[in-house]
């Protein structure tokens, strides 16, 4: 199974850090954030990773290279204009093949075991959901058993930014800029999305304050 790390965001909320450093390379406890993902994916047995980038993407390539020091083969999907999550994944499908693949947001910190995802999925997607953080109290989706549903009366959980996606999820999509969420909602309505609830460490490193939160966490581990 291949994996894709979404790393094309400009990191507006983390300025001034991201004015000269792409968000995935911002150090957390002395290690660039994206390297935690690369190390975890390698431990899980993944050997091929695709990374999309746009803002300061040349610095990402210069730092990570072809992936040898992580025992990975890294391919880069370069975006000349912002494509959002859905558009970025669609452009990268030519590197990901015809089978389901792992996708992970580059701006999260987690101790999730990616080897859990190395199994067939039933449907178009499998989502890892987490408890709602303080900055996103309403959540995104509901989990009933192993089936992801749109929130109605049941409590919602937050999409962690970790998933397995089938390329067929994008079968009707056209090249361009679009988000992933509408495709997931459509697939959920079709009953084609499974999920799981991860209760371990997970932080959306979207602001300088949350970056400090991860630093504090790692300082005591």
The model's pLDDT over 127-168, given as tens digits with 9 standing for 90+, comes to 999 999 988 899 999 999 999 999 887 789 999 999 999 999
- Please give the structure tokens belonging to residue 160: 């962690």
Residues 6+ apart with CB under 8 A from 108: 160, 161, 162, 202, 203, 204, 205
**CATH code, domain carrying 140:** 3.90.550.10
Residue 128, SS3?
Answer: strand
pTM to 2 decimal places: 0.93
Cβ contact 29:215 at 8 Å: yes
Q: State pLDDT tens for residues 11-65.
A: 556 565 566 778 888 888 888 999 999 999 999 999 999 999 987 889 999 999 9
What is the span of the domain harbouring residue 47?
3-219
**Helical (H) or strand (E) element with 105:** strand 101-105
- Please give the structure tokens belonging to residue 177: 């800029």
* Closest alpha carbon to 167 in 219, 113, 89: 89
**Helical (H) or strand (E) element with 110:** strand 108-110
| Total tally of structural domains belonging to the chain | 1
* Closest alpha carbon to 6 in 44, 41, 54: 54
Q: What are 197's strand-pairing partners?
A: 129
pLDDT for 102 beyond 90: yes
Cα distance from N-terminal residue to C-terminal residue, the chain: 30
- Please give the structure tokens belonging to residue 210: 């949350």
């Amino acid at each position: 199974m291949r994996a894709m790390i979404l790393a094309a965001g400009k990191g507006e909320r983390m300025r001034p850090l991201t004015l000269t450093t792409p968000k995935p390379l911002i150090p957390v406890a002395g290690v660039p954030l994206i390297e935690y993902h690369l190390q975890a994916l390698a431990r899980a047995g993944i050997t091929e990773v695709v990374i999309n980038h746009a803002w300061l993407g040349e610095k990402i390539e210069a730092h990570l290279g072809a992936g040898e020091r992580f025992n990975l083969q890294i391919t880069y999907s370069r975006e000349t204009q912002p494509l959002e999550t859905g558009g970025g994944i669609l452009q990268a499908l030519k590197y990901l093949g015809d089978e389901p693949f792992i996708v992970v947001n580059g701006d999260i910190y987690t101790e999730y075991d990616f080897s859990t995802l190395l199994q067939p999925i039933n449907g178009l997607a499998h989502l890892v959901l987490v408890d709602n953080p303080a900055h996103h109290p309403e959540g995104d989706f509901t989990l009933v058993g192993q089936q992801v549903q749109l929130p109605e009366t049941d409590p919602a959980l937050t999409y962690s930014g970790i998933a397995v996606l089938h390329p067929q999820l994008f079968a009707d999509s056209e090249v361009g800029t679009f988000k992933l969420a509408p495709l997931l909602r459509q697939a959920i309505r079709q009953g084609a999305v499974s999920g799981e609830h991860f209760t371990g460490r997970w932080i959306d490193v979207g602001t300088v304050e949350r970056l400090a939160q991860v630093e504090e966490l790692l300082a005591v581990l």
